[in-house]
Structure 1
Amino acid sequence: MRRAKGCLMAVVLSIAGVAQADERDLWMFAQWAGDHQTRPFREMLVDARLYGVVPIHQLLRSASDWRLCKASPFAVPPSSNWPNVRSTLALIKTLGDQGILRQFEVVSAYRDPSLNRCAGGAVDSAHTRAFAVDILLPAWADPNPLCRFWQQHGQAWNMGLGRYPTGRIHLDTAGYRTWGGDGSAGSSFCIKPS
């Protein structure tokens, strides 16, 4: 029954034009959250007026390779990293408020260092410090407004913007930089203004 429900949800989301990243949905999150303390993290988001900028079950998704790496599907970042979470969520909120980032799905956020290594993340990945999210946009979405925002305001936000061959877009507030499919700035869909 649950599998049929998941398939139906994927069809509904597909029709709505939103990509379904993986099986880590609300149901799976509710099961996980029952055994894990998320209340202090949620309260921090409420106090910062950032709760709901990203649905909590997406914001706590670990690496997409969690199953392959025998890791948890979700993770609460250490409280020492919560200021980093706030900075990236404030960026995402601004992008949403400006109509640049409306429909998206977070498929990876905080990763503990061992999961990051197993998943093939960069040694000093912003994901391990809770600065970063990887998102999927609907197939019809134009990523160029993100690029223009990065060019005009990215330095002030300390914004990293990358796009991977899978179509995922990486956003962080851990340094003004951009990259593309091969990991270099030269392959980015976004170039630094002259």
Structure 2
Amino acid sequence: MKMRRLLAATVLLLSTPLPAQELPEGQSEADYEAWLDAAPGRRGQVLSFEAWQAAAGVAHAVPTYQVLRTASMWRECNGQPFEVAPPNLWPGMANTIRYIRDHVERSVGTVEVVSGYRDPALNACAHGAPGSAHQGYFALDMIPVQPLDRHDLMRRLCAMHARSGRAARVGLGFYAFQRFHIDTNGFRRWGSSGPNHNESPCAVIERGEDPEPPGTEAVPRAAR
């Protein structure tokens, strides 16, 4: 019986589109509306944030409810599913949204943001790196709306990062499945490729090697 259940769960997982496997639970647009209504003052905070986005020239580049998503592990960490970051951290996010609009989406198509600001407690609980750019609100994790072959996704993003990442001070990280990280807190790259699972796929591709040879799997890395 246990084996049958395991096989059924495996079939269900494999038959589920990758983005569905990676979308945060409890952080849908409907959940966002319920979160707004659950406490006075939240709508006012969001209106201020959206007005700031408009002034910074990045309004509507990414849906607000996505930019306000916290960590995918928010429930396990007893955190909030959405949060408006402190206003003094907003300027860094303008650069990140602008880069996503002008470079990322031109490389891989429309993306859905799945994680943004994390306060220090939530970041630690969600296994984020101690100096994670998510804490400073420079970082967004995302997936392409239209799934790509993982190798194709890596090649497109690595080529983009090589062209424009240094000038824009962009960090590029890769996680499992289709999920990847963009921030504007310094030019760097990381992932779990290479023989020791500690290299960016970009470095491996530059050597002319396969970033994930058959039989290997992505190893989760701490969010940066």
- TM-score above 0.5: yes
| Dislocated runs of 4+, deviation >6 Å | none
2:80 partner SS: coil
Paired residue secondary structure (2:141): strand
Compute the TM-score of the two structures, normalised by the length of structure 2.
0.72
CA contact (8 A) 1:163 1:170 kept: yes
Provide the residue aligned with 1:159 in structure 2: 170
Q: Which moved more, 1:43-52 or 1:136-145?
A: 136-145
TM-score, scaled to structure 1: 0.83
* C-alpha deviation, 1:32, in angstroms: 1.0
Match of 2:67 among 59, 69, 76: 59
Does 2:25 match 1:26?
A: no
Query: Any conservation in 1 of the 2:71–2:81 contact (CA below 8 Å)?
Result: yes
CA RMSD of aligned residues (A): 2.6
How much has 1:165 moved relative to structure 2?
2.9
User: Where does residue 7 of structure 1 map in the other structure?
Assistant: none
1:129 pairs with 2:129: no
| Contact 1:18-1:103 within 8 A present in 2 as well | no
1:92, CA displacement in angstroms? Answer: 0.7
Confirm or deny that 1:120 pairs with 2:118.
no
Q: Do the aligned partners of 2:141 and 2:179 also contact (CA within 8 Å) in 1?
A: yes
Larger Rg: 2
Contact 2:104 2:160 in 1 (8 A): no
Q: Residues 45 and 185 of structure 1: is their aligned pair in 2 closer, same or farther, counting only changes over 3 Å? A: farther
Instruction: Check whether the contact 2:104–2:157 (CA below 8 A) recurs between aligned residues.
Output: no
SS in 2 for 1:63: coil
Where does residue 147 of structure 1 map in the other structure?
158
Counterpart Cα distance in 2 of 1:153 and 1:94: 10
Q: Report how many residues are paired.
A: 179
Determine the structure 1 residue equivalent to 2:58.
50
- Per-residue CA deviation, residues 55-109 of structure 1 (Å, 9 max, x unaligned), is 1111100000000000000011111111101010111111156x21422211101
Task: Give the equivalent residue in structure 1 for 2:217.
Answer: none
Structure 2 alignment gaps of length 5 or more = 1-14, 208-224
Q: Aligned residue for 2:12?
A: none
1:130-180 deviation digits (Å, cap 9, x = unpaired)? 000111124325322221111121110000001013441010001110011
CA distance in 1, matches of 2:104, 2:114: 17
Report deviation, 1:47: 1.4
Aligned in 2, Cα 1:154/1:101: closer, same or farther, shift over 3 Å? same
Task: Sort the Cα spacing of 1:18 and 1:39 in 2 relative to 1 into closer, same or farther, 3 A.
Answer: farther
* Aligned residues with identical type, % of pairs: 35
Q: Which residue of 1 aligns with 2:116?
A: 109
1:188 aligns to what?
200
Structure 2 CA distance for aligned equivalents of residues 68 and 147 of structure 1: 33
Distance in 2 (CA, whole Å) between partners of 1:18 and 1:26 is: 19
Relative to structure 1, is the Cα distance of residues 173 and 185 closer, same or farther in structure 2, using a 3 angstrom cutoff?
Answer: farther
Higher deviation after alignment, 56-65 or 160-169: 160-169
